[in-house]
Structure 1
Amino acid sequence: MSGGEGVARPPVIEFRQVALTYPGPPPVPALLPCELRIEQGEFVTVVGPSGSGKSTFLNIAGLLDAPTGGRYLLDGIDTEALRDGDRTALRGRRIGFVFQSFHLLPHRSARENVELAMVYNDTPRAARADRARQALEQVGLGHRLDAVPTRLSGGERQRVAIARALVSRPSLLLCDEPTGNLDSRNAESVLVLLEELHRSGMTVLVITHDPAVAARGARTVTIRDGVLDERRDEPVDEQDEQDERDEQVTV
């Protein structure tokens, strides 16, 4: 083989017995040692109740916190060996964040809000406006470049936030409860957009407490009491369930 054919790309996310314990006294284990691989182009959802460890997982995956045990490889890069400045730079290049709260500056236009994401990376100033326009067009807001957030719907504001996350062309789109502040119609439009981005090749990781949102992923991981679990529940057979109810009624 030549030209690099057949060379496997490393996973976007690889946890090798990753764990995090907050110091005490007493120490509090927030994430127990776990294994996880998320390959390039996957759409993975992480679901769990409040207090289950989702925020800890997010902070580790997003390079906001370093694990206290195990190794985390992002795009094959061992993050344990990185200094703080290198970790920050890697996060800015490889991860795009989308949060429940949109975190948009209210008196800046959609394009200006997206441009701000490029201030601290290597994007030349002259290229920022065009890159921001392209990102907004990618999320279907090419016609709203100059609108300020107060003139946008909730769904449009989240689309601006997604454009801001995409503008640096990251390896991973990391979404924390991205529909949490939206009504059902706008939530559906954002989920459809995430599915479209996934089909275009983007690696998407959505953290949610909502099983209906989690079901949109091609894979679902659960967290409960700090335990990461990829085992899926067996699908419910509706006819079997009805037969069981009928049997209970006739007894």
Structure 2
Amino acid sequence: MTAEAAPAIAPPPVIALRGVGRTHPGRPPVTALHPTDLTVHRGEYLAVTGPSGSGKSTLLHLLGLLDTPTTGRYELDGIDTGSLRDRERSTLRGRRIGFVFQSFHLLPHRTAEENVLLAQVYNRTPRRTRRAAALEALRLVGLGHRTDALPGTMSGGERQRVAIARALVNRPSLLLCDEPTGNLDSANADAVLARFDALHAQGFTLLVITHDPTVAARAERRVTIRDGRLTTPEEV
């Protein structure tokens, strides 16, 4: 008699917010984010849109473990982040989240490969595996032929793709992007968004925060934040 196979256990969501809010103390207190629920599953591509001052930056800081909520519970890969000490939060952030910002933040006198390598140094990746991982990350963003290039010799789109490779090199659970095309012309912006499409097709989880509807339209799911309140398109 053959034993039945145990049913597969679904992995936890990459992001699970349950009543997460952020209020800044003062007289009166200022609520930057009202209690919010949000679930992002592995492999999803989500855009968060909203005007300036809507709460996008507050949400980014909470999701990126750069700030802590005043209410609610945030689980990243099933880990209750509210139960962690500061050092544990920093370690979790370095291992599970890759950041891509509007500004590229590349070291100008370091090659593309060296800029990506440095992300592994800070994450204490074993030295013997760093170069291969950096080259693979650059290949993923279509820059396998530009590994020795300095940032000053690259287009804006190429520099942003180096920044994306740097964010990917530690194989994070979440790629968290803040206005990633804000410093790019339309041609370079489209090239970066095409790279996001490709990464999504390969199973990466992306969350893009943007005020640009063209950028948001590339995502498979969109939510809007206004006055610190998160809504789906159906609720707007």
TM-score scaled by length of structure 1:
0.90
Instruction: Please give the per-residue CA displacement for 1:65-107, whole angstroms capped at 9, x wherever unaligned.
Output: 0101000000010000000000000000000000000000000
- 1:72 aligns with 74
Please list the CA deviations of residues 102-153 of structure 1 after superposition, one character each: whole Å capped at 9, or x if unmatched. 0000000000000010112231122211211111011110111011100000
Amino acid at match of 1:62: G
- Give the alignment's Cα RMSD to 1 decimal: 1.2
Decide which of 75, 87, 92 is 1:90's aligned counterpart.
92
> Offset at 1:233?
7.2
For structure 1, the residue ranges without an aligned partner over 5 or more in a row are 235-251
Give the whole-Å Cα distance in 2 for the aligned partners of 1:42 and 1:127: 28
Distance in 2 (alpha carbons) for counterparts of 1:176 and 1:228: 17
Percent identical residues = 65
The one-letter amino acid paired with 2:149 is A
Q: Describe the SS at the equivalent of 2:176.
A: strand
Q: 1:25-104 alignment to 2 at 5 Å? A: 25-104=27-106
Q: Give the CA deviation at 1:23.
A: 1.4
Of 181, 188, 191, 1:189 maps to: 191
In structure 2, what is the Cα distance between the partners aligned to 1:233 and 1:211? Answer: 17
Query: Aligned to 1:173, which of 167, 172, 175?
Result: 175
CA–CA separation in structure 1 for the residues paired with 2:146 and 2:68: 38
2:217 aligns with 215
How far 1:215 moved relative to its partner?
A: 1.1
Partner SS for 1:143: coil
Please say if 1:154 is aligned against 2:149.
no
Any idea what SS the aligned residue of 1:111 has?
A: helix
Counterpart of 2:144? 142
Letter in 1 for 2:158: E
SS in structure 2 of the partner of residue 174 of structure 1: strand
Q: Secondary structure at the match of 2:177?
A: strand
1:164 match: 166
Q: Following the alignment from structure 2 to structure 1, what is the Cα–Cα distance between the partners of residues 159 and 129? A: 23
**Aligned equivalents of 1:163 and 1:21: distance in 2?**
34
TM-score normalized with structure 2 length = 0.96
Matched residue SS, 1:119: helix
Partner of 1:240: none
Unaligned runs of 5+ residues in structure 2 are: none
SS at match of 2:122: coil
Q: Does 2:206 correspond to 1:204?
A: yes
* Letter paired with 2:200: H
**Quick one: which of 130, 133, 136 aligns to 2:132?**
130
